[in-house]
Amino acid sequence: MKILHVIGSVDPRGGGTTNYVFSSAEVWARHGHECHILSLDSPNDSCVLRSSQVIFAIGPQRAQHSMVRRLLPFLRYGYTGNLVKWLNKNAQNYDAVILNGLWNYTSYGTWRALRKLNVPYFVCPHGMLDPWLQEAHPTSHFVKTVFWRLFESKVVRDARGIFYACEEERNLAQAFVSKSKCREFVAGYGAQDVLGDANAQKALFLSKFPTLKERKLIVFVSRIHPKKGLDLLIKAFARQSRDFPEFDLLIAGPDQVGLTPQLIEIAAQLGIEKRIHWPGMLSGDEKWGAFRMAAFFVLPSHQENFGIAVIEAMALGVPVLITKKVNIWHEVQLSGSGHVVLDDVDDIGRGLRYFCSLAPDQLQDIGVKARSCFERQFDLEKNALEIINLMTETLSNNKH
pLDDT for the residue numbered 137: 63
Taking all residues of the chain, what is their mean pLDDT, rounded to a whole number?
Answer: 92
Alpha carbon of residue 264 to chain centroid = 24
Q: Are residues 327 and 358 located together in one domain of the fold?
A: yes
pLDDT digits (tens, 9 = 90+) for 50-64: 998 999 999 987 655
Q: Are residues 367 and 394 located together in one domain of the fold?
A: no
Q: Are residues 246 and 109 located together in one domain of the fold?
A: no
| pLDDT tens for each residue of the chain, 400 residues long | 999 999 999 998 877 789 899 999 999 999 999 999 999 999 999 999 999 899 999 998 765 544 445 444 445 678 889 999 999 999 999 999 999 999 889 999 999 999 989 899 999 999 888 887 666 666 676 777 888 888 999 999 999 999 999 999 999 999 888 878 889 999 878 889 999 999 999 999 999 999 999 999 999 999 999 999 999 999 999 999 999 999 999 999 999 899 999 999 999 999 999 999 999 999 999 999 999 999 999 999 999 988 899 999 999 999 999 999 999 999 999 999 999 999 999 999 999 999 999 999 999 999 999 999 999 999 999 999 999 999 999 998 876 4
pLDDT for the residue numbered 136: 63
Q: What is the pTM of this model?
A: 0.86
Name the nearest CA neighbour of 182 among 130, 123, 128.
123
d(CA 100, CA 107): 8
Alpha carbon of residue 207 to chain centroid = 28
Q: Which helix (H) or strand (E) holds 99?
A: strand 96-100
* Cα dihedral across residues 239, 253, 342, 227: positive or negative: positive
Q: Are residues 117 and 6 located together in one domain of the fold?
A: yes
Burial class of residue 372 in the structure, from the number of CB atoms within 10 Å of its CB (0-12 exposed, 13-18 middle, 19+ buried): middle
pLDDT for the residue numbered 12: 87
d(CA 220, CA 301): 11
326 beta partners? 304
Q: Are residues 225 and 319 located together in one domain of the fold?
A: yes
pLDDT for the residue numbered 63: 54
Q: Are residues 209 and 305 located together in one domain of the fold?
A: yes
pLDDT for the residue numbered 76: 66
Residue 148: Cβ within 10 Å count: 19
Burial class of residue 253 in the structure, from the number of CB atoms within 10 Å of its CB (0-12 exposed, 13-18 middle, 19+ buried): buried
User: Could you give phi then psi for residue 216, rounded to 5 degrees?
Assistant: -90, 130
Q: Which domain holds residue 184?
A: 2-190+380-399
Question: Beta strands 216-221 and 294-299: pairing type?
Answer: parallel
Mark 189-213 as b/e (b = at least 16 C-beta within 10 Å).
Answer: bbbbebeeeeeebbebbeeebeebe
Q: Which helix (H) or strand (E) holds 132?
A: helix 132-136
pLDDT for the residue numbered 294: 98
Cα dihedral 11, 17, 21, 24 in deg (nearest 10): 140
Q: Are residues 142 and 236 located together in one domain of the fold?
A: no
Q: Are residues 260 and 171 located together in one domain of the fold?
A: no
| CATH number where 230 lies | 3.40.50.2000
Q: Are residues 183 and 227 located together in one domain of the fold?
A: no
Find the angle CA(230)-CA(9)-CA(76) to the nearest 5 degrees.
Answer: 80
d(CA 30, CA 132): 37
Q: Are residues 103 and 205 located together in one domain of the fold?
A: no
pLDDT digits (tens, 9 = 90+) for 26-43: 999 999 999 999 999 999
d(CA 102, CA 87): 17
Q: Are residues 142 and 120 located together in one domain of the fold?
A: yes
Mark 315-335 as b/e (b = at least 16 C-beta within 10 Å).
Answer: bbbbbbbbbebbbbbebbeeb
User: Distances in Å between the alpha carbon of 154 and those of 16, 36, 77, 148, 344?
Assistant: 25, 25, 17, 8, 37
Count of the separate structural domains present in the chain: 2
Q: Are residues 212 and 160 located together in one domain of the fold?
A: no
- Please tell me what DSSP assigns to residue 209: -
